[in-house]
Homo-oligomer: A and B are copies of this chain.
Amino acid sequence: MLTRPIYRGWTAKSLRRQLSSQAGSGLKINSDRLLETLHHTCQWGAAHRYGDAPTETGMNRLCLTDDDARVRRWLLDEAEKLGCSPRGGRYDGILGVIAALEVLRTMKDQGYQTQFDVGLVNWTNEEGARFPKSMCSSGVWAGEIPLEKAWNLSDIFNPSVTLRSELKRHGFLGDTPCSPAGYPLGAHFELHIEQGPILEDANKKIGLVTGAQGYRWLSINVTGRDAHTGTTPLRARRDPLLAASKMIAASNAIAKQHGALASTGVLKLPPTASTKTVASEVTFTLDIRHPRDSVVHAVQDECLSVFAEIAREDGKGVTFDWTLDTDSPAVQFDANCLAAVKDAATQLVDADGWLEITSGAGHDTVYTSRHCPTAMIFVPCKEGVSHHPEEYCKPEDCALGTQTLLEAVVNYDRMRSKLK
C-alpha cells in the first residue's frame, strides 16, 4: 500500500477512492523504493546543484559516458535480480526507466504472473544530446534511422568518438538485431513527465497521452545586403534581420490564430556582424506544431505567404528561401492501450483527476507506435520545466504515475488474449 505521507496534496476523495478500490491488479508499487532508486541512480552524473538537499541537483549524464555506462550496468544487475533475462534523466527519461523497474520489482515481490512477458527497454541516446539524433535507438528499431547512420553519429564534443565506438568500449555492442523482427514488442507503454504546464495548471494528476502532435522544422534563410547603419537610408536598405524579426513576430501571430505552436529557437547572423553594419544574411529556424497535420501545413503555408509580403516591405526588399529539416507527422496511439491507461487512471484518481493530452515533444513511443500498440502516461512537472537542473516531479506524482503504468500493463496483459 502507498504510505500516507506520500499522498499529501491529494484530495481526500481521490485518496479514499484509491484505498477502497476493489478493481485493479491488487498490486501496489512501493513508492519509497521508487524514489530512493531514482535518486540512487542519480549519483552517477549529478550536477548543477540548485539547493541544499541531497537530491537538489540536476543531471549531466551524456549517453554512453562512463557514468552512463555505470548506471546501465546497475540497471542490468537489478533486472537480473528480478529473474529477468535483460535484453535491454532525474525525471525526464530517468523516471520512465526507474518506474518500469519498480513495476517489475512489484510483480516479482508479490508473485504476480502476467499472461505475456513483460520487459523493460532502456533506449539508448533518446535525447540526442551527446550523439545528435533524438530518439535514436527507437528510430533504428522502427527502421526510420539506418543502423549505420546511428552508429556513425559523432560525439558533439569529440568527432573521433562515435556511438558505435562507445557501445563497443562499454561492451554494449550486442548481437540482437535492433528491429521489430529481432526484438519484437507486443505493446509499448512509457511513463514520462509532461515537460509542459498543462496538467499542473489544470490541477490534474495523470495525462492520458492520446498521441503526439505533428511538427515540421523549417530553416529560413533571408538574404539582403550588408550596409553601413549610419550612411544607408532606410529606403535604400535590404535588411534581413529586420525582415526576419517581422517574420518571427508574424509566425507567432499566425500560430495563435490557429491554436498551434510556432517557435524560433535559433537565429544566426554572419560572424562579421557588428553594431554599425546591416547584416547581409540571417538564418532562423521555425518549429510549427499541432495535433492535426492539416493545421501544421496551414500554418506553414500562411507563414510562407506572409514572409513573401514582409520580404518586399522595407527598403529595397530582401529575398528568402527555406528548407524543410524535419517532418514528423502527428501520431495517434493505440485505442486498446489507451483504454488500459484510462481504466487505470480513472480507478486511481477519479475521472476528474486525469486529462487527455497530446504529447508536444517527441518520445521513443512515437517510433514504436509504428510497429506495435502503444500509449504514454504523463505526470505533472513543476512549472512545465524540463531540460534544466531544476526540473522537478513531486514524489507522489512519480509514485502515482508508476502505479498507473503498472495498472495499465496489467490491464493490457489481461485484455491482450481477447484482441485479434
Option from B230, B236, B385 in Cβ contact (under 8 Å) with A213: B230
CA distance A260 to B273 in the complex (A): 22
Copies of this chain, tallied across the complex: 2
Q: How large is the interface on A (under 10, 10 to 19, 20 to 34, 35 or more residues)?
A: 35 or more
Whether A360 and B231, one on each chain, are in contact in the complex, defined by CB atoms closer than 8 angstroms, is yes
CA distance A33 to B333 in the complex (A): 80
A285 → B minimal CB distance (Å): 4
Whether B385 and A252, one on each chain, are in contact in the complex, defined by CB atoms closer than 8 angstroms, is no
CA distance A359 to B228 in the complex (A): 12
Q: Which residues of B contact A359 (CB under 8 A)?
A: 230-231
Residue of B nearest to A239 (CB): B263
Option from B215, B226, B248, B384 in Cβ contact (under 8 Å) with A387: B226
Option from B226, B261, B387 in Cβ contact (under 8 Å) with A277: B387
Taking CB atoms and an 8 Å cut-off, the chain A residues in 210-247 that contact chain B are 213, 215, 217, 225-234, 236, 239, 241-242, 244-246
* Given A232-B384, A273-B266, A249:B252 Cβ within 8 A: no
* Given A246-B249, A248-B241, A229:B261 Cβ within 8 A: yes
Residue of B nearest to A242 (CB): B252
> Is A161 close to B, CB under 8 A?
no
Whether B289 and A230, one on each chain, are in contact in the complex, defined by CB atoms closer than 8 angstroms, is yes
A244 → B minimal CB distance (Å): 7
Whether A236 and B267, one on each chain, are in contact in the complex, defined by CB atoms closer than 8 angstroms, is no
> Is A388 close to B, CB under 8 A?
yes
| 30 sampled A-B residue pairs with Cβ under 8 A | A195-B230, A196-B228, A197-B232, A197-B236, A217-B275, A217-B276, A227-B385, A228-B360, A229-B261, A229-B287, A229-B289, A229-B360, A230-B359, A230-B360, A230-B361, A231-B359, A234-B261, A236-B384, A239-B263, A241-B264, A242-B248, A242-B264, A265-B274, A265-B275, A265-B277, A265-B278, A275-B287, A275-B325, A276-B361, A277-B387
